[in-house]
Structure 1
């Protein structure tokens, strides 16, 4: 019997979001300063996507 752990939950959420059209980039591949939590450019780029999802 396999256990449902944090890694399995993370993968399930990533797959769900990808199915909804959201891109996934592993944290180690993000271009950001180590002390930045949010990536401002991603927030700007995602605004239109989020607005379109709300309208549909």
Structure 2
């Protein structure tokens, strides 16, 4: 069970990191605050889903 928890945490962190990198690239190329806000909300959603997976598997 601990390995599943670690895997979910790592996948959530990797998704969040990938989103941050994509958001940074897009914001640098276009320089729009709206894209930065959307990207940060996507990161929050990714983190909350990883936390939800942890809570479900703690269960």
User: Which structure is larger by alpha-carbon Rg, 1 or 2?
Assistant: 1
Question: Highest relative contact order (Cα 8 Å, sep 6+), 1 or 2?
Answer: 2
